[in-house]
Amino acid sequence: MKGRNYRTPRGQPYTRGEYIHGQPTPKISRFVMGETKGDFEYKVTLIAQAHVQVRHNALEAARIAANKVLTDKLGEAGYMLHIRVYPHIVLRENKMIATAGADRLQEGMRRAFGKPTSRAARVRAGQEIIDVYVNENNLKLAQEALAESSMKLPMPCRVVVEKIREATKQIEA
């Protein structure tokens, strides 16, 4: 199955893990990266502009793209990246074999509930997907990193810059 088959959220989400045997684990390895205890001045946010389902491998690709741009230039201590959505929804697929001689293995629409294959997160229009916390001198780089990661997601996104606090000024006596 392709990702476009699951892009539009239809029906009730399938999330109850206790009823799903062999549910797939999310491919997102880390949700918070960089300097987690850092004191940053700006928050740069990637915001969705459409109501879609984002598969977990698309979220992981977006995380890797943004993290690569930031770590190459700033190292591990110059930023904090936070993935704000979690792929709760389990996607199912009724696998069919379409080769010659496989007619006895197919069941057609009989028992067509499907087996769990992947996970997805439902994202509303205007919802924050990724946050990057940086200082003022790295603001342009954070915007570039989120623009790069938005290309990995199946919907149009925009980047918003928000000032968290004033820079602390050290007074020498």
Q: How far apart are CA 59 and CA 109, in angstroms?
A: 32
pLDDT greater than 60 at residue 121: yes
Read off the tokens for 55: 């598969």
> Token pair for residue 148?
């790069």
**Which CATH code is given to the segment(s) 3-12+22-163?**
3.90.1170.10
**What region does 114 belong to: left with phi over 0, alpha with psi -120 to 50, or beta?**
left
pLDDT band at residue 13, thresholds of 50, 70 and 90? Answer: confident
Which of 173, 1, 3, 146 lies closest to 87, judged by CA?
3
What is the reported pLDDT for 123? 95
Per cent of the chain over pLDDT 70 is 88
Residue-wise pLDDT for 54-102, tens only, equals: 999 999 999 999 999 999 999 889 999 999 999 999 988 887 776 666 5
* Chain mean position to CA 155: 12
Of residues 168 and 120, more confidently modeled: 120
Q: What residue ranges do the domains of the chain occupy?
A: 3-12+22-163
Please, what's the largest Cα pairwise distance for the chain?
86
* pLDDT exceeds 90 at position 115: no
More confident residue, 166 or 169: 166
3-class SS of residue 12: coil
Taking the chain, what is the end-to-end CA distance rounded to the nearest angstrom? 66
pTM equals 0.84
Tabulate helix, strand, coil % of the chain (nearest 5).
25, 25, 50
Instruction: Indicate the SS3 state at residue 93.
Output: strand
Burial class (CB in 10 A: 0-12, 13-18, 19+), 102: exposed
At 124-140, the pLDDT tens digits run 999 999 999 999 999 99
As a whole number, mean pLDDT of residues 146-153 equals 96
